[in-house]
């Protein structure tokens, strides 16, 4: 039966292999497997050709046999990570054997074989250990092995925290779209920055297959820690085998079964009773409630010994997390009991005849005060539940044909209700809390499956093929979604099936509290990714060639309106009751865009063992990333060259809305590894990598006529019939840019280019006493980087103030589009530079100790903007000067960073027995430590002084008139506020972008294990873990809005901050 299946799979995949050869598409083979290579020599150092080298997996007995070339060299490619035995035989020589050596993904382990003259029946056994020295590769990489993955203290058991500890890597920007605190992705943080690059530009993979969520650039699927064998992190001068990254390559290698059954059952438990209180800036507040459980198990083993293996796991997560109390200004109890009568606070008495039906209904949603005459104070409970499982089947058909299939599944549900209690409006019970206080509910579903086949034609020629599918469905909804409360109270066209506008329309009361949903909900981001990969590996003499490619096809749905139910602003509660709004606006999608994009790459790589001490890694890669298309042509963009709106499929415009395909993409890679002495290696390299930066909602081409907008207006200017809150909105119709007050919110340049980075490094590695010391210079130069301009149509600096009649004629496109205001614009053309010194000391498991301690000294400059920032800090205030005016410290410019991990099996009681052994043996200590300098930030004017963005807040930067330094920064004065002053009206300030740096960030996590043997192969492990054990406060950047009451003060904590927390766990393993 197995033989029959082998024939079937071989025919199918060899057919696919022919297709790949014709299409010339890229594989990621070396990203999931490793190579064992070396040179066979005799006792005199002369090479021995035609020696047979046999490499056997200790877990599955999978066998690879290769023959040494005329130069004595051998290489075994496409080896799965794990432990292997190596043996070598040649006529006239004794057999040579290495009982065990550990191979990680991406490794090129050199095992040089020295044969001794004698009978083949005699064996020379060598106890070798894989070195951390990279003697045959120029790639800068870091491997997180199984012990670190399973044993280090991780808050939430999130593998991303391990990646953040690699040299050159950090936690990413504090406002990252991927840190779990934004609507776009409510799962645990996936934010990380590699070598100063944007957090959304990493290439995430599972077993070498694409694992990227394309719409916002986050990770798609996260396997449980129990499913992870190791994590490979590559940060500079990648081989030609991989592309699509401006940052790092994070490749998760999943576990497979073996000839022995292995399994586990576990539960991790946390409760606020053990935790420290949150830093509250001197306020006496109760401790936030916390209840958290993570539980699950795993099982792997043989189905048929030496042939078929399985592995599977499940992990559940339950968290209830309270928030700090918020104090909000609500109507007094008297005002609640006597609607319309505000005389108790010196306000007016409003006759019922003057009540606005919608205003009085909203007024009834506010709770009565519970803390003083007009204050409501309350926290709320965030809940998050998740179910994750993974499964993998491996099949060895015969020594020349192997196959595996893998599946991973995540399902996360989150709810964040807000501080107000449920209330009733028009007979409908809802939670009316403003979405700025609670993010509503979210459902994040993701799963992926892949197939992998390897065929060995002969000892020198191998073929690997992959196919994979990934589905991501991230959805976020306001609290009252689906209830249509505004329709129930009689407001026309506020709740509408268009854009799923079915929640409670948001209101802001300037002197009070806010209610309802707000920006960007509901949100539905859906990705379907189909990928096909292949590589052909050929060994010829000193050369190891790899030729291959990949094709990725993505189907994307991006459904998100800015103001789907509108937004109303009222001065006070009397104004609300009367329906007298100060301002309102609405923007919603009329259609759901179904986007299509593809990614194609081809490469050739040669790893040439040029001499006994020198290996050259040379490669050439080509990548092409298509612009977005939409299945019904429902996309458009603005063309500044002719001042027109380009609609896909209209008047000869292409299905990309006229955005040109960028055919640049040729990426050479060249590196070397030079062994100067037995334990000393010098490595270096240079390479170019291309990456698409048309990500986030700004790239989705949601512009007129596929949106409907009501431009910002007041009750006196919104037009007849719309003077009161109850009047609602007109029927949504497509925005016509010929109408006054129209805008083009998300234009993309017709010449949007594929960004590229030049990467280079020079590295020295020295091994001593089992430790490897590494010193590297690492650099990157970015070109054609994304630049997100808040308004391409901004008037130049002027003194018009809010006088539209004055500034409108100054807009650069007024002659072509006289009625268009803001044109949001996404272009390429940015540049960056990153230079760093990266040092580390690393030790693989030896004498019970594993460690990695690294330090990075770096400086990053750019005139690009992080895609999570969207023009913060006054970026792009003068669009035609962005290249010079906004060139400064990168938003991810962290100058100094230490990070380290240690696993240590305590050496107590080695000779003890009985009860003494039970008490002393089996202890292990693990720690994670991080310290880095702060992230940069910009000083801005609280209101626009240059008048390039009329009416906006924090849209431009002021003048610096003195030194911002203070001798001892505190939360009350982190920098000198007197060092800044608003520039003259209608001019540009002299303050640079990101010129100041925020507070340092640090934490120390510790865990202590005790393992109890139960019976043979069965162990019970008790864990006590502490996160931020020293209870160090980590602050956010200070308030940097000149003119604000808290200017120069720190009033909030870092999004990565948590007080000291304890976690306990029990784990059964066998």
CB 873 within 8 A of CB 938: yes
Q: What percent of the chain has pLDDT over 90?
A: 77
**Confidence category of residue 992, pLDDT binned at 50, 70, 90:** very high
225, pLDDT greater than 90: yes
Three-state SS at 498: helix
Q: What is the pTM (predicted TM-score) of this model?
A: 0.91
User: Which tokens in the block code for residue 279?
Assistant: 């830093």
**Averaged pLDDT, 710-715:** 80
Find tokens 């009161």 and name the residue: 724
**Confidence category of residue 677, pLDDT binned at 50, 70, 90:** very high
Q: What pLDDT score does 17 carry?
A: 40
User: Can you tell me the distance from the alpha carbon of 999 to that of 997, in angstroms, rounded to the nearest whole number?
Assistant: 7
| 594-609 and 629-630 beta bridge pairing | antiparallel
Using only C-alpha atoms, what is the Rg of the chain?
Answer: 31
**Averaged pLDDT, 11-19:** 41
Tens digit of each residue's pLDDT (9 = 90 or more) over 36-82:
999 999 988 899 999 999 999 999 999 999 999 999 999 999 899 99
Q: What pLDDT score does 14 carry?
A: 41
Q: What pLDDT score does 183 carry?
A: 79
User: Can you tell me the distance from the alpha carbon of 695 to that of 795, in angstroms, rounded to the nearest whole number?
Assistant: 27
CB 273 within 8 A of CB 362: no
**Confidence category of residue 6, pLDDT binned at 50, 70, 90:** very low
CB 105 within 8 A of CB 33: yes
Spell 861-896 as b/e; 16+ CB within 10 A means b: bbbbbbbbbbbbbbbbbbbebbeebbbbbbbbbbbe
Q: What pLDDT score does 459 carry?
A: 87
User: Which tokens in the block code for residue 577?
Assistant: 């009751």
User: Which tokens in the block code for residue 555?
Assistant: 């189907």
User: Which tokens in the block code for residue 572?
Assistant: 């006070």
Tens digit of each residue's pLDDT (9 = 90 or more) over 577-606:
999 999 999 999 999 999 999 999 999 999
25, pLDDT greater than 90: no
> CA–CA distance from 115 to each of 39, 88, 93, 188 (Å)?
11, 8, 6, 53
9, pLDDT greater than 50: no
Tens digit of each residue's pLDDT (9 = 90 or more) over 883-933:
999 999 999 999 999 999 999 999 988 888 888 888 889 999 999 999 999
List, in order of start, the domains of the chain with CATH numbers: 33-137 (2.60.40.10)
Tens digit of each residue's pLDDT (9 = 90 or more) over 337-383:
999 999 999 999 999 999 999 999 999 999 999 999 999 999 899 99
User: Can you tell me the distance from the alpha carbon of 480 to that of 561, in angstroms, rounded to the nearest whole number?
Assistant: 16
414, pLDDT greater than 70: yes
518, pLDDT greater than 80: no
* Selection from 507, 571, 501 nearest residue 365 by Cα: 507
User: Can you tell me the distance from the alpha carbon of 644 to that of 634, in angstroms, rounded to the nearest whole number?
Assistant: 17
**Confidence category of residue 129, pLDDT binned at 50, 70, 90:** low
- Which of 87-91, 155-159, 265-269, 696-700 shows the lowest per-residue confidence on average (mean pLDDT)? 696-700
**Confidence category of residue 24, pLDDT binned at 50, 70, 90:** very low
Q: What percent of the chain has pLDDT over 70?
A: 96
**Confidence category of residue 534, pLDDT binned at 50, 70, 90:** very high
DSSP 661-684: P----EEEEEEEEEEEETTEEEEE
User: Which tokens in the block code for residue 266?
Assistant: 């576990």
Residue 308, Cβ neighbours under 10 Å: how many? 17
Average pLDDT over all residues of the chain: 92
Check residues 596 and 7 and name the one with the higher pLDDT.
Answer: 596
> CA–CA distance from 25 to each of 11, 106, 642 (Å)?
20, 20, 38
Tens digit of each residue's pLDDT (9 = 90 or more) over 809-848:
999 999 999 999 999 999 999 999 999 999 999 998 888 8
* Selection from 243, 183, 187, 201 nearest residue 866 by Cα: 201
CB 467 within 8 A of CB 533: yes
Check residues 633 and 200 and name the one with the higher pLDDT.
Answer: 633
**Confidence category of residue 15, pLDDT binned at 50, 70, 90:** very low
Tens digit of each residue's pLDDT (9 = 90 or more) over 719-777:
788 999 999 999 999 999 988 888 999 999 999 999 999 999 999 999 998 899 999 99
| 193-194 and 290-304 beta bridge pairing | unpaired
Tens digit of each residue's pLDDT (9 = 90 or more) over 791-807:
999 999 999 988 889 99
Range list of β-strands (E), 979-1036 = 980-981, 996-997, 1001-1015, 1018-1027
**Confidence category of residue 180, pLDDT binned at 50, 70, 90:** confident
**Averaged pLDDT, 433-437:** 75
């Amino acid at each position: 039966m197995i033989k029959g299946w082998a024939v079937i799979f071989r025919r199918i995949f060899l057919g696919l292999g022919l297709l790949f050869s014709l299409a010339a598409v890229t594989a990621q083979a070396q990203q999931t497997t490793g190579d064992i290579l070396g040179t066979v020599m005799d006792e005199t150092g002369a090479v021995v050709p035609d020696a047979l080298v046999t490499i056997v997996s200790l877990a599955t007995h999978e066998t690879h046999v290769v023959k040494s070339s005329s130069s004595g060299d051998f290489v075994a490619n496409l080896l799965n990570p794990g432990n292997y035995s190596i043996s070598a035989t040649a006529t006239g020589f004794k057999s040579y054997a290495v009982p065990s050596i550990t191979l990680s993904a991406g490794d090129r382990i050199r095992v040089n074989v020295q044969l001794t003259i004698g009978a083949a029946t005699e064996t020379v056994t060598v106890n070798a250990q894989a070195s951390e020295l990279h003697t045959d590769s120029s790639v800068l990489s870091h491997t997180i092995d199984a012990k670190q993955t399973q044993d280090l203290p991780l808050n939430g058991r999130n593998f991303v925290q391990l990646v953040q500890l690699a040299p050159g890597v950090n936690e990413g920007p504090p406002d990252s779209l991927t840190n779990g605190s934004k609507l776009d992705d409510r799962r645990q943080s996936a934010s990380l920055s590699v070598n100063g690059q944007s957090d959304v530009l990493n290439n995430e993979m599972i077993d070498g297959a694409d694992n990227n969520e394309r719409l916002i650039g986050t990770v798609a699927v996260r396997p449980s820690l129990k499913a992870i064998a190791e994590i490979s992190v590559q940060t500079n001068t990648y081989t030609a085998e991989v592309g699509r990254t401006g940052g790092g390559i994070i490749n998760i290698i999943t576990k497979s079964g073996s000839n022995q059954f292995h399994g586990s059952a576990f539960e991790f438990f946390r409760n606020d009773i053990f935790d420290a209180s949150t830093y509250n800036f001197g306020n006496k507040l109760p401790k936030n409630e916390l209840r958290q459980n993570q539980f699950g198990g795993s099982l792997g083993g043989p189905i048929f010994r030496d042939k078929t293996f399985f592995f599977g796991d499940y992990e559940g997560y339950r968290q209830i997390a309270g928030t700090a109390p918020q104090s909000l200004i609500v109507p007094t109890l008297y005002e609640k009991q006597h609607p319309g009568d505000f005389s108790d606070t010196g306000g007016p008495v409003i006759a019922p005849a003057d009540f606005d039906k919608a205003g009085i209904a909203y007024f009834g949603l506010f709770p009565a005060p519970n803390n003083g005459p007009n204050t409501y104070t309350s926290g709320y409970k965030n809940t998050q539940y998740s179910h994750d499982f993974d499964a993998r089947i491996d099949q060895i058909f015969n020594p020349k044909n192997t196959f595996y299939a893998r599946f991973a599944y995540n399902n996360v549900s989150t709810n964040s209700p807000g501080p107000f209690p449920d209330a009733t409006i028009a007979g409908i019970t809802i939670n009316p809390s403003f979405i700025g206080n609670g993010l509503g509910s979210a459902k994040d579903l993701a799963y992926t499956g892949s197939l992998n086949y390897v065929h060995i034609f002969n000892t020198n020629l191998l073929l690997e093929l992959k196919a994979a599918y990934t589905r991501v469905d991230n959805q976020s909804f306001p609290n009252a979604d689906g209830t249509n409360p505004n329709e129930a109270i009689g407001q026309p066209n506020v709740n509408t099936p268009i854009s799923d506008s079915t929640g409670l329309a948001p209101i802001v009361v300037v002197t009070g509290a806010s209610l309802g949903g707000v920006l960007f909900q509901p949100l539905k981001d859906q990705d379907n990714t189909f990928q096909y990969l292949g590589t052909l590996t050929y060994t010829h003499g000193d050369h190891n060639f790899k030729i291959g490619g990949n094709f990725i096809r993505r189907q994307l749905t991006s459904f998100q309106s800015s103001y789907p139910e509108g937004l109303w602003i009222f001065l006070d509660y009397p104004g609300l009751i009367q329906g007298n709004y100060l301002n309102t606006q609405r923007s919603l999608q009329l259609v759901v865009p179904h986007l299509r994009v593809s990614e194609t790459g081809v490469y050739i790589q040669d790893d040439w063992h040029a001499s006994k001490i020198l290996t050259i890694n040379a490669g050439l890669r080509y990548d092409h990333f298509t612009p977005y298309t939409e299945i019904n042509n429902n996309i458009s963009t603005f063309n500044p060259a002719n001042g027109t709106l380009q609609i896909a499929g209209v008047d000869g415009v292409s299905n990309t809305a006229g955005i040109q395909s960028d055919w640049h993409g040729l990426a050479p890679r060249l590196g070397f590894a030079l062994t100067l002495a037995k334990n000393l290696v010098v490595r270096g390299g240079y390479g170019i990598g291309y990456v698409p930066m048309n990500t986030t909602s700004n790239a989705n081409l949601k512009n007129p006529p596929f949106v409907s907008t009501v431009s910002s207006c007041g009750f006196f200017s919104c037009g007849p019939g719309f003077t009161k809150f109850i009047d609602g909105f007109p029927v949504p119709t497509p925005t016509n840019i010929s109408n006054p007050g129209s805008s083009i919110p998300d234009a993309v340049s017709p010449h949007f280019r594929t960004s590229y980075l030049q990467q280079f490094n020079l590295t020295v590695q020295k091994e001593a006493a089992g430790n490897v010391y590494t010193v590297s210079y690492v650099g990157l130069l970015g070109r054609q980087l994304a630049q997100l301009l808040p308004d391409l149509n901004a008037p130049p600096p002027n003194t018009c103030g809010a006088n539209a009649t004055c500034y409108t004629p100054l807009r650069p496109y007024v002659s072509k589009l006289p009625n268009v205001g803001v044109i949001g614009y996404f272009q390429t053309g940015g540049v960056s530079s990153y230079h760093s010194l990266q040092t580390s000391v690393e030790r693989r498991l030896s004498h019970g100790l594993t460690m990695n301690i690294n330090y990075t000294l770096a400086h990053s400059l750019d005139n690009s903007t992080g895609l999570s920032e969207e023009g913060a800090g006054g970026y792009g205030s003068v669009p035609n000067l962005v290249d010079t005016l906004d060139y400064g410290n990168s938003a991810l410019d962290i100058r100094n960073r230490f990070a380290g991990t240690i696993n240590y099996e305590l050496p107590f009681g080695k000779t003890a027995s009985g009860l003494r052994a039970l008490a002393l043996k089996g202890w292990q200590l693990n720690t994670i430590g991080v310290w880095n300098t702060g992230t940069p930030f910009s000083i801005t004017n609280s209101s626009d002084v240059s008048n390039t963005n009329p009416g906006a807040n924090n849209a431009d930067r002021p003048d610096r008139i003195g030194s911002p330094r203070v001798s001892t920064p505190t939360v009350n004065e982190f920098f000198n506020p007197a060092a800044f002053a608003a520039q003259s009206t209608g001019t540009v300030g002299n303050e640079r972008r990101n010129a100041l740096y925020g507070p340092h960030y640090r934490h120390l996590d510790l865990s202590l294990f005790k393992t109890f043997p139960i019976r043979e192969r069965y162990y019970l492990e008790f864990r006590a873990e502490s996160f931020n054990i020293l209870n160090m406060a980590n602050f956010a950047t200070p308030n940097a809005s000149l003119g604000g009451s808290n200017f120069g003060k720190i009033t909030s904590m870092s999004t990565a901050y948590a007080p000291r927390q304890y976690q306990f766990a029990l784990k059964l393993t066998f």
